[in-house]
Amino acid sequence: MTQTRWIIGLASGSCAESVDAVLLEVHGTGLELRVRLVQAVQQRSSRDLRELMFRVASAGTGDVRQICLLHRLLGEAFATAARQVADRASFSLQQVQCLGCPGHIAWHEPGGRFPSVLPLGMPAVVAERTGVTTVSDFWSRDLAVGGQGLPVLALADYLLFRNVAENRVLIHLGGAATVVCLPATGRVPELFGFEAGPCNLLLDGLMRHVTGGRETHDPGGKHAVQGRCIDPLLERWLEHPYLLRRPPKSLSREEFGEAFIAQAVRSAQQMHRPLHDLLCTATHFVARGTTSALKRFLPAGDAPHRLLLSGGGARNGLLWRLLEQDLAPIPLEKTDAHGVPADLRKAVAHGVLAALAVDGIPANIPSATRATGSRLLGNLTPGSSANWARCIAWMAAQTPVLAAA
């Protein structure tokens, strides 16, 4: 009988509006993992934390002191969410093997001579507050081996959502629109994924810009649906070089950041078009950028039978309708139908990556990130002495040759 273990996965939204935590029941090891979601918590970030995040993000390179403070406070927020999900399940943290806490990406620059990423959320704080060994920063090792760091969740998506009876494509509508192709007959080295274009980082950025920060997002697309698409602006955006670049590829935060947003606002003002029209146009842009990428870049012969949607953008009614219209007759459904709520896909996937790390399984996929090789992902911060001893024993048992040496 396969030994059961429990793992916590953590995640933050694209703008750290909330911190998500999931408690997972895990059976099997490595590529035979099977996961059941036991409990979940979505903890809204404090106003002070949200304002600090906004100041750091708006400052571009930012102030070092503020970045360090945010690093610490996010660590505290992640730790609180981990404790809360265990409490809600009436479950002792002493029974949890490890937790996946990748941190919040404050900066990601996949191009240039020295690609880099800066995840915030102090893992030492998480391990100290919970007593659980913390696996953090799943991106840096992929960057070090020539990858782009994203999309690094492709293997977790394979374990969670692949079905041998049909080709599937996962579309995660988070800060970026991420595509992961899950062919029915695909082997792990053949997994394919990329970031198709911007999503909530653009839509939320527009809301914050035009409202002076009073509104941070457009809930359900209620403002965008009241507008009309500005076709000349949409066509201009669709010629952006990033959309035409072949995968593997991932977005720099600056690609569609403050400069792009400010120019978009000026263009709409020059055309005497209101906010609703600008948001409507941006939503059309996200949808068209995503569907065009699917049609242009998916491998021949892997036409999807089903599209699974996750992320905050899956709640945007206008975006959903536009995707549905352009991709018909392929059915769209949320990942909820497959055991993973759309809002929690990242947290669950981070828990899976933590499990793979202690199982000794390389988890980055070169065909998705352009890395030159597969590597074990994540940095391990020991929890309590007892928890760390159990992790060491587990890892030794997964690698008997190394243990014997």
- Per-residue pLDDT of 96-128, as tens digits, reads 999 999 999 988 899 888 999 999 999 999 999
- What phi and psi, each to the nearest 5 degrees, are found at residue 198? -75, 160
The average pLDDT across 179-201 equals: 92
- Looking at the chain, the whole-number percentage of residues with pLDDT higher than 90 is 78
**90 burial class (0-12, 13-18, 19+ CB within 10 angstroms)?**
exposed
Same domain, yes or no: 77 and 210: no
The average pLDDT across 142-150 equals: 95
- Per-residue pLDDT of 255-266, as tens digits, reads 898 899 999 999
Boundary of a domain, candidates 327, 343, 359:
343
pLDDT classification of 18: cutoffs 50, 70, 90: confident
The CATH number assigned to the domain holding 311 equals 3.30.420.40
- The order of strands in the sheet holding 34-44 is 34-44, 18-27, 4-12, 96-100, 133-136, 379-381
Quote the strand ranges of 87-241, DSSP E.
96-100, 104-109, 116-120, 133-136, 168-173, 176-182, 192-198
- Whether residue 12 contacts residue 104, with contact meaning beta carbons closer than 8 Å, is answered with yes
pLDDT classification of 140: cutoffs 50, 70, 90: very high
- Per-residue pLDDT of 33-83, as tens digits, reads 999 999 999 998 888 888 888 777 765 556 889 999 999 999 999 999 999
Rg of the chain over all Cα atoms, to the nearest angstrom: 21
pLDDT classification of 186: cutoffs 50, 70, 90: confident
- Whether residue 221 contacts residue 209, with contact meaning beta carbons closer than 8 Å, is answered with no
The average pLDDT across 251-279 equals: 92
Same domain, yes or no: 149 and 94: yes
Q: What is the pLDDT of residue 46?
A: 85
> In 3D, which of 393, 387, 361, 383 has the Cα closest to residue 374?
361
Same domain, yes or no: 45 and 147: yes
Same domain, yes or no: 196 and 109: no
- Looking at the chain, the whole-number percentage of residues with pLDDT higher than 70 is 96
Q: What is the pLDDT of residue 219?
A: 85
Same domain, yes or no: 335 and 361: no
Same domain, yes or no: 230 and 292: yes
**300 burial class (0-12, 13-18, 19+ CB within 10 angstroms)?**
exposed
Boundary of a domain, candidates 343, 361, 390:
343
Q: What is the pLDDT of residue 2?
A: 62
pLDDT at residue 320 is higher than 50: yes
The two three-digit tokens of residue 13, written as one number = 């939204």
Alpha carbon distance 195, 172 (integer Å): 9
Q: What is the pLDDT of residue 62?
A: 61
pLDDT at residue 30 is higher than 90: yes
Q: What is the pLDDT of residue 16?
A: 67
What is the amino acid identity at position 113? R
Alpha carbon distance 55, 52 (integer Å): 5
399 alpha carbon, distance to own chain's centre: 29
Q: What is the pLDDT of residue 405?
A: 37
- For the chain, give the mean pLDDT: 92
Q: What is the pLDDT of residue 209?
A: 83
CA atoms within 13 A on the CB side of 255: 23
Alpha carbon distance 312, 254 (integer Å): 21
Q: 69 by DSSP, 3-state: which? A: helix
Same domain, yes or no: 335 and 351: no
Cis before 329? omega within 30: yes
Same domain, yes or no: 174 and 98: no
Residue 248 is part of which domain span?
A: 162-343
pLDDT classification of 400: cutoffs 50, 70, 90: low
Same domain, yes or no: 189 and 70: no
Q: Which residue has the higher pLDDT, 399 or 92?
A: 92
The two three-digit tokens of residue 70, written as one number = 């945010």
CA separation, residue 153 to residues 141, 327, 368 (Å): 13, 24, 9
pLDDT at residue 403 is higher than 50: no
401: DSSP letter: H
Beta strand 306-310 with 168-173 is: parallel
The average pLDDT across 251-280 equals: 92
pLDDT classification of 402: cutoffs 50, 70, 90: very low
Number of domains in the chain: 2
DSSP 310-376: ESGGGG-HHHHHHHHHHHTTS-EEEGGGGTS-GGGHHHHHHHHHHHHHHTT-----HHHH--SS---
Q: What is the pLDDT of residue 53?
A: 83
Residue with tokens 């934390």: 49
Boundary of a domain, candidates 343, 368, 383:
343
> Which residue blocks in 212-274 are alpha helix, DSSP H?
231-237, 241-244, 258-270
Same domain, yes or no: 226 and 363: no
Alpha carbon distance 335, 333 (integer Å): 7
The two three-digit tokens of residue 131, written as one number = 């007593």
Angle 200-210/258-270 helices, nearest 10 degrees?
60
Strand partners, 136: 379
> In 3D, which of 39, 59, 95 has the Cα closest to residue 387?
95
Same domain, yes or no: 211 and 273: yes
- Per-residue pLDDT of 207-252, as tens digits, reads 888 887 778 788 889 999 999 999 999 999 999 999 999 999 999 8
Largest Cα span, the chain: 73
